Amino acid sequence: MNKLSFSRALKLHGNTNRLLEFKGAGRTVEDARKFFASEGVHLVVVNGDVPLLANLPELTRVAVSKDAVKRHLRKMEPSALPFPPAIA
């Protein structure tokens, strides 16, 4: 994969933002991996991290909807979070 097409670059940027939204909400990488898998994006997790190069083909294939992530994050009660959400 030499260069990313415009549409693949948009998908990568959007999916990266979705991962950051999980982190900002205090969710674990494993929570994000499971959610992304339910949306058809199968991520590789290594030592609690999502390596970019290992996941580039998946992150550029399908865009995960911002609304789907918002709905999913609203489902979890704040008391069930493993650690408090980040303060912006």
Q: What is the pLDDT along the chain (88 residues), one digit of tens a residue?
A: 578 899 999 999 999 999 999 999 989 999 999 999 999 999 999 999 999 999 999 999 999 999 999 999 988 755 555 556 666 5
User: Which residues on adjacent β-strands are paired with residue 49?
Assistant: 46
Q: Does any domain span residue 62?
A: yes
Q: Does any domain span residue 63?
A: yes
Residue 74 CB neighbours (<10 A): 9
Q: Does any domain span residue 83?
A: no
Q: Does any domain span residue 32?
A: yes
CB 5 within 8 A of CB 56: no
pTM of the model: 0.81
Range of the domain at 57: 6-74
Domain count for the chain, please give it: 1
Q: Does any domain span residue 24?
A: yes
Q: Does any domain span residue 84?
A: no
Q: Does any domain span residue 1?
A: no
Q: Does any domain span residue 15?
A: yes
